[in-house]
Amino acid sequence: MTTDLLIEGRHFRRDWSSGYDIGRKAAAQNLSDVAAMGARPTGIVVGLGLPADASTGWLDDLTDGLRDECDLVGASVVGGDVTRCDAVVIGVTALGDLGGRAPVTRSGARPGDVVAVTGRLGHAAAGLALLRAGVTVPAEQAGLVEAHRRPLPPYARGPEAAGLGATAMLDVSDGLLQDLGHVARASGVGVVLDPVRLPVPGALREAADLLGADPLEWVLSGGDDHALAATFPNGVALPSEWTMVGRIIEGGGVRVEGRSVEHGGWDHFRE
């Protein structure tokens, strides 16, 4: 079981994202957390606060988005509640089935394990940067804006990782550095990332050139893509969808080889 909140103006803007996109995003970020424990998502319940200016058409789009995202994993919207609110507030609780297995938590990583990721990293952050800049987005970067509006979590990879013996796992919602920091603290270990292995596709590089940014910073610190990061015993044969990007060592914290970086990422209580 997992729960999360989305608040208008902080997690989404209705002038940037459609009701359908917001519904897909609200379901995705919770279903991804279930997959990140090695479970199969089964259902969600939704608490919804709506302002008076929210039309029934917008609400229909939102609920269509919730339904369609659940359909991807064979889950359903099984209940919820609606109330009036000054802004749109969406609280989703997702449920899942471990099939009798123990959940994969953040606390099982051990020195000698490898760190691997699957799914997109930095795309949503780049898309948000393009929207904030107010630039005309070239066709080649349109997919980055869509990544901000609607994530594509690699749902099937979570149970797959559990079956491969993953020792720790989480979904990357607040940035790779920050989220792996949770693994480091919970497991009492250190994490070392190899920047050469981190995936930086051409669209990210082109968007970074357009905005004068560093695409690797988006990959390391950008949230909302809901990729999965997991640790595995050294020697496990990983499927092609997983990319090994680092290793677990004695000590603590997260560092990137050859780079001086702060633990960027989303922090709800930091200005």
Annotated binding site: 3-4, 11, 33, 80-81, 106, 171, 173-174, 224, 266
List helix spans (H) across the chain: 19-35, 56-71, 123-133, 142-149, 157-163, 176-187, 202-211, 215-221
Decide if 38 contacts 166 (C-beta within 8 A). Answer: yes
Q: Cα–chain-centroid distance for residue 162?
A: 18
Q: Please enumerate, by residue number, every residue annotated as part of a binding site for Mg(2+).
A: 3-4, 33, 81, 171, 174
Burial 36-49 (b: 16+ CB within 10 A, else e): bbbbbbbbbebbbb
Q: Which residues are annotated as a binding site for substrate?
A: 11, 224, 266
The Cα–Cα gap between 76 and 43 comes to 5
State the distance between the two ends of the chain, measured CA to CA, in whole angstroms.
30
Residue with tokens 């990729």: 227
**CA dist 221 → 14, 16, 215 (Å):** 24, 22, 10
> Of 168, 158, 92, 154, nearest to 121 (Cα)?
154
Nearest one of 199, 205, 210 to 130, comparing CA atoms: 210
- The annotation places the binding site for ATP at 80-81, 106, 173
Q: Hey, what are 146's tokens?
A: 């869509």
